[in-house]
Chain A
């Protein structure tokens, strides 16, 4: 027990200090305040959205369902965002051999690693669930047991998403450890599982209306979200028995999550670290290539071979495609309502939803951190900062610009928004990609995390990645909420002037960030001490 607690302390410290990686004590305070302000604003915006939704539900007598909606949103977000965190921390991590050589039980190592990932999962979960809980109290009243149940519920409910992550991690690594090209196959299998989860998320979303207006929850819901379902009953009825069921289920998810990882933990890690016999080669091709193409090849090979980095960065384009499909389906399924009203509802959700997905994890916000200790080699070579920066920027542009353009085009072709609006929507999406790409690199140059023991820490738990994500959420959620506030308060308010104004704002912001990058980027690069 003492061993586990010590390890948890070490991993927690590593996770939290890493998240603040690169932030000096001096500047740390202001960045922490910035983090807190953005986090609060995001939660407030979500709270406002939940508040409006609950008002609508309340008029039909379903206000209590806002709690379930908040919990499901939190679970889905924590599953999607931390999908690869567990495998990054548990499998193929650099500290595996060091830990394995110490007299520590395997169970203790796994539990400690599990809980350090859980901390991150809990952070995203809280951002969605806390506003929903406040809105729930507002409409359904505050009770002593309600406060206790929901506080414990908030802490334990993500065990479900964590269990899913553990299961997927285990499956991915069991399969890829037996394959020939382990590293690439690990990325490919993770991508396949990510797509499966994305499809499941889509299916769940498409049936959310039946959850929102249900007195009795559908069977699939009771099975899939069992712990959350029993928690909501316990909170609504005050019955301790249901709360006990929630506790048992959550603890079961935790135990199963740990047990799954324990199966073949050593064997899988050994297999993943073992490479096949090297082929002896006598003839090689020598060809001169431009340095930029070499750098681009290096960036892409890092991306494809670092599973956590790759999946995390591909999550944005994948979710953009999912969001586009959801919006198009939503547009078609709301056929009974007046067309103009549907367009007014669906268009901002598409524009700002996709904008959020596209900027959630640009490759640039971790590309310096991914260099790790190799960064000193790069810095000692006669390569200009311009070339290095361009190669890193190009990777994200190649991944995201076509997705942004095609999704925007598909949407405006199906939803008749009008030519000026269609043009502005596509421009907005493309500008968003450029903005987040440059912003990500700028922040990673300012807050690089070059010392890490597993790729999750570099790819996902750096201050630059978190700041980019929060700024992205802030830039995307605030205009969406603002638009709905304006449409409810101003008669005949349309989307065209709104998007026009925001394209202008986005253009100014993008130019400002590019200029900041041009003037500050090189200085920041030179300042990094690998």
Chain B
């Protein structure tokens, strides 16, 4: 579903992502972990077509992000690390706006909004202006908007930040359900315990370079993901 080949992104002289090679297939949930400033968000932004990149190739379901950005974007949903939404719209208007962009039919959007907004306990507040929402509510709305068109690839930047325990639990279930239905999920996180529980695959990035990628079992073996991550950090430091 997602194929990244030799991706390099520079900001001036600084290399933010260095020769990244990665694949996430349909049905996989892949955690993208690394320290702050390692290049996770930059990589996600390159995949979602927000920023251009110097070298490499990214394809989503066979569609080249650089050559056919609009078609590629139709396959994905991107959730940024901070849920900045159009505050002057009502929650429901925002969801309709996103549904219109992705060409979701009335019946589909009605059914999906009903399902996901109820699961994340935001449905009753959809009639209010987004400016009146708390951070967590904005995050929930952003999640519903990301799910409204049943994306083939879900790109999430720290999706659990700001969610209450119930919404967090529900979203984990939704992620698993989507993966079982054939969607691929690639998400950055610092919560290694959750990643360990729900992800089939893991990718570790350090100083712009991918230092490990594989199934969760392959990477962590009998140890915890946290200890493996810390060991790898130490190894590359020394």
Chain A interface (Cβ within 8 Å of chain B)? 183, 275-276, 278-282, 284, 286-291, 294, 297-298, 301-302, 304-305, 372-374, 376-377, 379-384, 526-527, 529-530
Q: Which of A289, A298, A305, A382 has the most CB of B within 10 A?
A: A382
The reply to whether A382 and B74 form a contact with Cβ atoms under 8 Å apart is yes
- What are the interface flags for B9-42 relative to A under an 8 Å C-beta threshold, 1 for contact and 0 otherwise? 0010000000000000000000000000000000
Distance between Cα atoms of A284 and B78 in the complex (Å): 25
**Residues A381 and B73 in contact, CB atoms below 8 Å apart:** yes
Interface hit among B91-99, B162-170, B186-194:
B91-99
Name the distance in Å between B70's Cβ and chain A's nearest Cβ.
5
Q: What are the residues of chain A within 8 A of B124 when measuring CB–CB?
A: 280-282
If A294-B100, A301-B86, A382-B101 touch, does A376 touch B106 (CB 8 Å cutoff)?
no
Asked if A301 contacts B89 (CB within 8 A), the reply is yes
- With a cutoff of 8 Å between Cβ atoms, the chain B residues found around residue A294 in the complex are 96-97, 100-101
Complex partner residue of A284 from B73, B105, B127, CB under 8 angstroms: B127
Q: How far is the CA of A187 from the CA of B82 in the complex (A)?
A: 27
Kindly list the 6 A-B residue pairs having the minimum CB-CB distance in the complex, ordered from nearest: A281-B127, A275-B132, A278-B128, A382-B73, A305-B88, A380-B78
Q: Does B213 contact A (CB under 8 A)?
A: no
Query: Which one of B44-52, B177-185, B223-231 is at the A interface?
Result: B44-52
A372 contact set on B, CB distance < 8 A: 84
User: Which residues of chain A have C-beta atoms less than 8 A from B97's C-beta?
Assistant: 294, 297-298
Q: Mark B120-164, 1 if CB is under 8 A from A, else 0.
A: 000011111101100000000000000000000000000000000
Beta-carbon contact of A287 and B89 below 8 Å: no
- B: number of interface residues (CB 8 Å): 43
- B85 is an interface residue with CB less than 8 A from chain A: yes
Tell me the minimal C-beta distance from A529 to chain B in angstroms.
5
**B149, closest chain A residue (CB):** A382
Give the distance to chain B from A407, nearest Cβ to Cβ, in Å: 30
Check B206 for interface membership: any CB of A closer than 8 A.
no
- How long is the Cα–Cα vector from A288 to B93 in the complex, in angstroms? 11
Which of A374, A379, A383 is in CB contact (< 8 Å) with B86?
A374
The reply to whether A291 and B101 form a contact with Cβ atoms under 8 Å apart is: yes
Cβ contacts under 8 Å, B106 to chain A: 286-288
Chain A contacts of B126 at CB under 8 A? Answer: 281, 284
In the bound complex, do residue A380 and residue B84 qualify as a contact, i.e. CB atoms below 8 Å apart? no
C-alpha spacing A495/B124, complex, angstroms: 64
Determine if B201 is an interface residue (Cβ-Cβ < 8 Å): no
Query: How far does the Cβ of A18 sit from chain B's closest Cβ, in whole Å?
Result: 19
Interchain residue pairs with CB less than 8 A apart (6)? A275-B132, A380-B80, A381-B98, A382-B70, A382-B71, A384-B70
Contacting residue for B80 out of A297, A304, A376, CB 8 A: A376
Instruction: Give A383's nearest chain B residue, CB to CB.
Output: B101
Residues of A within 8 A of B128 (CB): 278-279, 281
Bound Cα distance from A290 to B96, whole angstroms: 11
Greatest chain B CB density within 10 A among A301, A305, A377 is at A377
Given contacts A294-B96, A298-B97, contact A379 B49 (CB under 8 A): yes
- Determine if A374 and B85 form an interchain contact, defined as CB atoms under 8 angstroms apart: yes
Q: Give A112 Cβ to nearest chain B Cβ, in Å.
A: 27
Quick one: closest B residue to A529, CB to CB? B51
Please determine whether A374 and B50 come into contact, CB atoms closer than 8 angstroms.
no
- Decide: A279 near B86, CB < 8 A? Known: A294-B97, A294-B100, A529-B51: no
Contact B86–A289 (Cβ < 8 Å): no
Residues of B within 8 A of A289 (CB): 96, 100
Max count, chain A CB within 10 A of own CB: residue among B71, B85, B88, B113: B88
> How far apart sit A177 and B232, CA to CA, in the bound complex (Å)?
54
Cα A3 to Cα B109 in complex, Å, equals 53
Report the minimum CB–CB distance from B158 to chain A (whole Å): 14
* Cβ A279 vs Cβ B82 within 8 A: no
Q: Report the minimum CB–CB distance from A222 to chain B (whole Å).
A: 45
For A289, the closest partner residue in chain B by CB is B100
Nearest-neighbour CB distance to chain B for A124, whole angstroms, equals 29
Cβ–Cβ contact A278 & B80, under 8 A: no
| Residues of A close to B129: CB separation below 8 A | 275
Other than the given A297-B93, A381-B98, A529-B51, 17 more pairs (CB < 8 A) read A183-B88, A281-B128, A284-B113, A286-B109, A294-B100, A298-B86, A298-B97, A372-B84, A374-B85, A376-B45, A377-B85, A380-B50, A382-B102, A383-B70, A384-B70, A527-B52, A530-B51
Give the Cβ gap from B115 to chain A, nearest Cβ, in Å.
14
CB of B128 to closest CB in A, whole Å: 4
Q: Which residues of B contact A382 (CB under 8 A)?
A: 70-71, 73-74, 101-102
Chain B residues with CB under 8 Å of A377's CB are: 78, 80, 84-85
Query: What's the least CB distance linking A511 to chain B, in Å?
Result: 28
Residues of A within 8 A of B93 (CB): 297
Contact residues in A for B49 (Cβ distance below 8 Å): 379-380
Report the bound CA distance from A383 to B97 in whole Å.
Answer: 11
Chain B residues whose CB sits within 8 angstroms of the CB of A280 once the complex forms: 124-125, 127
Nearest-neighbor residue (CB-CB) of A184 within chain B: B88
Docked complex Cα distance between A377 and B50 (Å): 8
| Inter-subunit contact B50/A379 (CB<8 Å) | yes
Q: How far is the CB of B37 from chain A (nearest CB, A)?
A: 16
**Do B100 and A288 touch across chains, with their CB atoms under 8 A apart?**
yes
Q: How far is the CA of A276 from the CA of B132 in the complex (A)?
A: 8
Residues in B with CB closer than 8 Å to A284 are 92, 113, 126-127
Cα A55 to Cα B208 in complex, Å, equals 69
**Nearest CB of A to B95, in Å:** 9
Q: Does B67 contact A (CB under 8 A)?
A: no
Q: In the docked arrangement, what's the CA distance between A373 and B97, Å?
A: 18
B11, B51, B93, B100: most-surrounded residue (chain A CB, <10 A): B100
Q: Is the CB of A278 within 8 A of B125?
A: yes
Contacts of A305 in B (CB 8 A): 87-88
Q: How far apart are the CA atoms of A235 and B88 in the complex, in Å?
A: 52
Chain B 197-223 interface residues, beta-carbon cutoff 8 Å to A:
none
